[in-house]
Structure 1
Amino acid sequence: MGDGNRPAEYRRVYVWELPVRAYHWINAVALVLLCITGYLIGAPLRVFYSAEAYQQYWFGWVRFIHFLCAYVYVFNFLARLYWGFVGNKYARWNSFFPLKKAQRQEIVDVIKADVLETKLHGPISTGHNALAGFIYFFTFLAFVAQSITGFALYSSMSNSFIPRMFTWIVPLMGGEMSVRYWHHLFLWFFVTFIIVHVYLAFYHDYIEGRGTISSIVGGWKFDRERPADNKK
């Protein structure tokens, strides 16, 4: 609602630049395929074992898709790291760290409003809110850990340059079984993240009505006009 009988006025804001949107969708496809193929590698479906091995190559395709998506996933992430330094203010890395008092207060407000539901929303950030940005930062760390453990496991069966860079991870973590355990554990972290992320995207789109879902396709969100904007 606006002031008095005056309806709220909104302005279009270009939030998510093309590289950020491309990163999001490439990462989404790669991550889903990695989760599915990773689970199948860890627990193959026995239904495919009815045919002779020479009549099928389904597990080989599962592994190929997993390894291919892993490379896409890593280089896509490196591109996002770069864009965190040269992109607009919504893409910059300082938006992922609650260094300012206002950001820390926003984290408390979002927890109270979205998680505990003990208060109504205050001002709403145009980009990521401070809590979402901070969670994404830890998700990026999980990306790195998952990539390292994945390439460490791959290093025992590949002579390629990138996997061989991580051969030292296996003895450092106490052997291949330990590396596999953590790699599998991160799988369920990402499965949980995907479910929660999709739910919250639709939740905020419905509650706020500012184009949260469409913004990751077209880049534009709707922000409430500030008093200074109406005086132009």
Structure 2
Amino acid sequence: MKTRNFKRVLVWELPVRIFHWLNVLALFVLTVTGFLIADPPALLSNAEATNLHTFGIVRSIHFISAYVFFFVMILRIYWAFVGNKFANWRAFWPFTKRHWANLKHVLKVDIMLLNDEEENIRNISIGHNTIATLSYIAMFFLALVMVFTGFGLYAGMSSWWLPRLFIWVPDMLGGDILTRQIHHISMWAFIFFAMVHVYLVFYHDWLEGRGEVSSMFGGYKFVCEDRMKKPEKVKSDKNKAAVPAD
């Protein structure tokens, strides 16, 4: 068996990891409180109705989490221009030969469950793979739908200028009921994405053993040194070896 050397590489910078876990927390709270708002449970109490603020607290937590989700998205967009190459917006541009080659590899590994060590070395991604990139692009636009519909529903009861920027959304979509339905369906899409995302992260962590899970805590992955060689350098070495000696 061929011995390979692995190098510890900082892939996910601290701001990216903070944005990730803030999003996880915000989406979890938004989902739980969203279910409660959509289908409020009956609360039995002998206290006066004017002294019960349970549902108001639930709605306040939902709105605060929505603000966290919104501002984290804005900061992540900013970091796409100032972060390292793994967080940069260019890493999410899928229309390159490298991305399409990686797409075939990921489909073989994730769907067909076919694993080849040599092919992994050639096509494995250090940052996001192509499937993850495409799904994150889709989730970004879905997040915009959540933001627009959510703030659109909230705008009528808010006095702050930020939510009121979206007051036109329900009218454009045909009213509050349809806007709420779109918001609710988008939530289920996020739940489905989260389930698949968690499964694939643990699957690749088990299959590749490069620290896929721990990288979102510490930022580091273990990358084969052969994979880190620049293609131009490898090509020039081959050409050099092909030249006959004088």
TM-score normalised to the size of structure 2?
A: 0.86
Distance 1:202 1:228, change over 3 A: closer
Counterpart selection for 1:35 from 31, 56, 65: 31
* Residues 1-232 of structure 1: pairs in structure 2 closer than 5 A: 3=2, 7-46=3-42, 48-52=43-47, 53-118=49-114, 120=116, 122=120, 123-226=123-226
The residue type paired with residue 188 of structure 2 is W
How far residue 228 of structure 1 moved from its aligned partner, in angstroms, is 8.3
- C-alpha distance in 1 between matches for 2:44 and 2:148: 31
For the aligned residue pairs, the C-alpha RMSD in angstroms reads 1.7
**Partner-residue secondary structure (3-state), 1:226:** helix
How far residue 24 of structure 1 moved from its aligned partner, in angstroms, is 0.3
Contact 2:102 2:125 in 1 (8 A): no
Equivalenced residue count is 224
Deviations along 1:23-64, one digit per CA (max 9) or x if unpaired, are 001111011100110111001122x24544345322111101
Contact 1:106 1:129 in 2 (8 A): yes
Deviations along 1:125-177, one digit per CA (max 9) or x if unpaired, are 11011111111111111111101100000011112101110111111101111
The residue type paired with residue 29 of structure 2 is L
Distance 1:228 1:148, change over 3 A: closer
- C-alpha distance in 2 between matches for 1:205 and 1:35: 27
Deviations along 1:63-95, one digit per CA (max 9) or x if unpaired, are 010000100111111000000011100001111
- C-alpha distance in 1 between matches for 2:5 and 2:228: 12
Identity fraction in percent: 43
- C-alpha distance in 2 between matches for 1:49 and 1:164: 35
Larger radius of gyration: 2
**Partner-residue secondary structure (3-state), 1:157:** coil
How far residue 225 of structure 1 moved from its aligned partner, in angstroms, is 1.6
The residue type paired with residue 17 of structure 1 is E
- C-alpha distance in 2 between matches for 1:74 and 1:12: 33
Distance 1:99 1:187, change over 3 A: same
- C-alpha distance in 2 between matches for 1:221 and 1:201: 13
- C-alpha distance in 1 between matches for 2:148 and 2:220: 35
